[in-house]
Amino acid sequence: MKIFKHIFSITVFVSLLLMYGCTLTLEPLPEDESFDKYGAITVSESWSGTSAFNASYVHISGCTVTWKKGITVIVTGSLHVDNNGSLIIEDGVTVKFNKDAYIEVANNGSGTFAAIGTASSPVHFTKNDGVSGWGYNSTSETYSGGIWFNSAATSLCRLHNCVIEYASSGVVVQGCQIAIDSCVVRNNTYLGINFENNLSRPDTSTYRFTGNSIYGNGSYPIRIYPECAGYICTGNTLTGNAAGKDMVYLQRTNDIKGMSVLWRNLGVPYLLYESMIIDNNGSLTIQQGVTVKMNAPAYIEVANSGSGTLIANGGSGDSIRFVAFTPGAKWGFNPTSATYSGGLWFNSATTAFSSLSYVVIEDATTGLYLEADVNVTNSRISNSKFYGITATNVSYLPTGLTYSGNGSGSTHTP
């Protein structure tokens, strides 16, 4: 009854206006406006609707914020998720960043960041209109990133079916394990994904690091420590980056100690930038078809302190190659001593499981330095600065190998 009276009153009012010659103009409903979010958010909330959200120096702390399906968020300053806070991003969300804006997870206490898209509706992290790029530290490859995970990031963090583009470096993982699968990481200024230290790696306990396409970046698609590289699975596309950068960059190392590591054939070479030791019951297995490019001071030493194992068994027509990163340069230990140098160095505690077959070693100081009996078959050592093999205190020399172009000769037994 009240509703009827209200409608009747409006009808009479409009009729009177028209009777006396008045003009009635109906203003259109206001369009959705943007919502501004600034500063600390400490109570759980959801962002949804057709409006854009402007997030300026937002700090999600001790609560859960959900960005609902399909919204647009413009990040105009750094966005932090920590102090037991969580940010959940649903499929179809677009996140645009102003210059120097970035997302940092777990800088001060634990934090969870999960961006879960779908194949047809990914989560899209990109630059805002009118800016050339985004991300922390756009002037330095070694310490830059668009989405940054610190050591207290929780095991619930995940990037799935995301597109990350035009950042300084796409993703930085520092001291934690993050699940990354089915993502596109492209057109970033420097690195695609940077696993910053020896505690940083993909979390493969539930989701394998696979289905990712990392291309168009100005530097390497992946940078990771050698002992963590075994968590990079096959099934990723790592080609199409800057010239000479289609490699998995193995940065400085804490060595392979007390663990078993597998370097898979990822379709691109590994670049070993510094020397690496395998010992304390550690082992490294290299799959057939892998190429390891060695920076000039780099070498691999087995069993320096305690037992160690290196297994590099290629196949006929699918060899494992250890070659110089810089064409014409020599790599390996001690480039000034013909009698005490080596690219692959096997100390006396090398285990009997170590073996090399269908291996190519090129441009080392000396190809192999042997202080233990190692089964080496069907392999070629060429263009060493000094010898193909130097062996001491061994019961036999490998036979049936091919040598060419070694500066001081094929073998040496001081």
Rounded Cα distance, 174 and 225, in Å? 11
* Token pair recorded at residue 178: 């993050």
- Of residues 23 and 176, the one with the higher pLDDT is 176
DSSP string, 149-199: E-TTB-TT-EEESEEEESBSSSEEE-SSEEEEES-EEES-SS-SEEE-STT
Measured in whole angstroms, how far is the alpha carbon of residue 394 from the centre of its chain?
Answer: 41
Rounded Cα distance, 356 and 292, in Å? 14
Rounded Cα distance, 346 and 368, in Å? 8
Number of residues that this document lists for the chain: 414
Contacts of residue 101, Cβ cutoff 8 Å, sequence gap at least 6: 75, 76, 77, 78, 79, 134, 135
pTM value is 0.90
Average pLDDT of span 48-72: 95
Helix (H) or strand (E) run with residue 362 in it = strand 359-362
pLDDT value at position 139? 82
Q: What are the structural domain ranges in the chain?
A: 35-254, 258-414
> For residue 5, is pLDDT > 80?
no
> For residue 9, is pLDDT > 90?
no
Single out the residue of 208, 321, 209 nearest to residue 271, CA to CA.
321
- Of residues 22 and 337, the one with the higher pLDDT is 337
- Asked if 406 contacts 383 with a C-beta cutoff of 8 angstroms, the reply is yes
Rounded Cα distance, 120 and 110, in Å? 31
> For residue 143, is pLDDT > 70?
yes
- Of residues 112 and 10, the one with the higher pLDDT is 112
Rounded Cα distance, 260 and 323, in Å? 23
What angle (nearest 5°) sits at the alpha carbon of residue 305, between those of residues 299 and 307? Answer: 90
Helix (H, G, I), strand (E, B) or coil at 186: strand
33-42, 173-182, 278-287, 354-363: range with lowest mean pLDDT: 33-42
Which residue reads 């001060």 in tokens? Answer: 108
Exposed e or buried b for every residue in 80-93, given b needs 16+ CB within 10 A?
bbbbbbbbbbbbbb
* Token pair recorded at residue 15: 């009729």
Average pLDDT of span 346-356: 98
Contacts of residue 270, Cβ cutoff 8 Å, sequence gap at least 6: 229, 247, 248, 250, 263, 290, 291, 292, 293
pLDDT value at position 4? 34
- What are phi and psi for residue 214, nearest 5 degrees? -120, 105
Single out the residue of 59, 68, 63 nearest to residue 43, CA to CA.
63
Give the confidence band of 33 by pLDDT, cuts at 50, 70, 90. Answer: low
Rounded Cα distance, 198 and 81, in Å? 23
Rounded Cα distance, 237 and 404, in Å? 35
